[in-house]
Amino acid sequence: MSAPDIPESATGAGNVAGRHDRDPASPQSQCIDMAWDTSALGTDLQYDPCADASWESILHRLVEEDNPSKPDISARSATEPLLDFEIGSQLSTQALLDMLPPTHCCGYLITLYFGRLSPLFHILHGPTFQRQFYEFLKAPSRVDLSWLALLFSVCSIAAHTLEEDDPILMEWWREVPRTRRNGIADSASRFRAAAMICLSQDNFLYQHRMSTLEALLVLIYTINHYEGVERGWTLLGIACNIGIALKCNVMESSTALQAGLNCIDMERRRRCWAGILMLQTYQAMSYRDVDMSFLLNLPATMPADVNDSDISEIAIRPPSSRPTQMSVMMFKIRLFRLSSRILGRASGLLDEATLTALDLEIATEQEQWRSVFLSDGLPSVLDTSSYAYWCILQLHAHQLYLILHRPFCQSRNSLHFRPDSFRRCLSSGTALLDLHEQFLKLPRLRQYRWYVFGMTSLAAVHGAMALASCLLEGMNLNHDSINYHSIFDSGVLRIQSLQDRSQICFKSMPILLHLLSRLSRGTQLKNIDDDNFGHIFDDWVDRAQWLNPERVDWEFWNNMLHTTKA
């Protein structure tokens, strides 16, 4: 699809939105004014946390008497759709525009999105979005609501990457008293709520275009990372069906020509289908009883592994031998497909041949990442982002190694014990803690520090648990145990320092601190002998859903450790 239908001659380029054409007495306007005090998008945003009740009214239907203009379904013509779905009140376009941050902040968040986030989930064509944004600035009041939903979605996920001391954020909040600031996460969630209101008012369930699908996919990706995988499940089903309706899965060149689409339109559809596959596979990994493999088997053309600048309306350049903006996403799709196969086999003990074959497949993927993102096996000093992408892929790989090998290193007295698996759990557990530390401390990864508060911390906790299990089993038998102890101790303290910004770190602390105490000082809790604790702990680690933080049963340890202390 091309840019939103916005006339070139429209005025208003100075500010994204003003309030001069909105009725200040309307209930909708009052709701917005109470929550966001901004006279124009070119001014600073002020948030009033006391207005939560007003926001709640936005996110629910207005009762019938408050919305007398809503047509009676019995009076509709035969051509009008019967489906009437609303997530929020019917707000004016101006009221929706007033929810955006100031214009310069919008531009800054968009820059952060394409610089930090887009390569990890590259479904948007940057030049197309940029053109749409500049056209939007010319006539914001005539914006297509589905594209406005996309803008809100981009702002939401980009806001999560901000540091509290970011100069743009400080300028944004300059006139807001500190006691009235609800933080970055709150602002990001409000942008997501605004995106859903835009989609609802655009009737996205039966009226959709490419910007509808793109907005949904960015929303789902954000929700998966910051709210929990299960919260995006329903939206993902809708997005998948919209993708099929837009023929994203059958976007061959001949199909595009017949539909009057150019190469950019075709690649946008292919990228969205790749995004759907990636999100669906991730869902299947998080819910092991869900089989979405039929989507992976549907005939579909994957997007070209090229940069945005390699795509024009009339042609797509051949793939480059160097990393592109699509490289990470293509590697992720391959890795997630492998992950689905591993998780499908990991419900029971694997035979030696299968275990060796799957281990080799992970190693083969790692070697490809090494050749693409590293320079002679070392981080490039000319390109900081490529090392970040390598680290992100390594997180997934080492978690898969742990899922594969953990059942074979629980007890040295077991018939299924494999020394190689024991060593693999030690090395992968250590690698996950090391990667976590690099994202937190390494200067070259500073702009990716936001990544440490979500799934990276879950991977680090997974690594810490696996490492602790090995140390509990062989702490006096391994000549390297002192070194591993030090790695575990510093890893736990690092995770503890992130409790205020990461729910994963907060919820995992009771058991991690107990393990730290047990391993560091040889102490133990009353009423739990060492052998019994080891069996309980190993069983819990193996049952935990380490790819979905919402399905890890942290309450088990809260209850158990509290009981034993009593």
> What are residue 311's DSSP bridge partners?
316
Write the CB contacts of 319 (distance below 8 Å, at least 6 apart in sequence).
304, 305, 306
The pair of structure tokens assigned to 263 is 């190469």
**DSSP β-bridge partners for residue 316:** 311
Q: With contact defined as beta carbons under 8 Å apart, do 127 and 262 qualify?
A: no
Q: Measured between alpha carbons, how far is 25 from 22 in angstroms, rounded to an integer? A: 9
Question: Mean pLDDT over residues 9-35, rounded?
Answer: 37
For the chain, the C-alpha Rg in angstroms (whole number) is 26
Residue 510, C-beta contacts closer than 8 angstroms, at least 6 positions apart: 554, 557, 558, 561
The letter for the amino acid at 228 is G
Q: Look up the pTM and report it.
A: 0.76
Q: pLDDT by residue (tens digit) across 334-351?
A: 888 888 788 777 656 788
Which of 307, 331, 249, 327 lies closest to 125 in space, CA to CA? 307
Is residue 565's pLDDT more than 60? no
Share above pLDDT 70 across residues of the chain, in percent, rounded to a whole number: 74
Residue 164, pLDDT > 50, answer yes
Whether residue 392 is predicted with pLDDT greater than 60 in this model: the reply is: yes
CA angle 123, 125, 128 (to 5 degrees): 145
Quickly state the pLDDT bin for 425 (edges 50, 70, 90): very high
Strands (E) in 44-157, as ranges, are none
Note whether 444 and 379 are within 8 A (CB). yes
Q: Is 373 exposed, middle or buried (0-12, 13-18, 19+ CB in 10 A)?
A: buried
Query: What's the pLDDT score for residue 286?
Result: 72
Res. 60 pLDDT band, cuts 50 70 90: very low
CA dihedral 369, 371, 377, 380 (to 10 degrees): -90
**How crowded is the C-beta side of 124, counted as CA atoms within 13 Å?**
31
CA angle 343, 338, 295 (to 5 degrees): 90
Distance CA 536, CA 528 (A): 10
Q: What is the pLDDT of residue 256?
A: 65
Task: Tell me the β-bridge partners of 378.
Answer: 375
- Are 395 and 378 spatial neighbours (Cβ–Cβ below 8 Å)? no
Spell 498-529 as b/e; 16+ CB within 10 A means b: beebbbbbbbbbbbbebbbebbeeeeeeeebe
pLDDT tens figures, 534-562: 788 888 888 888 877 777 888 888 778 76
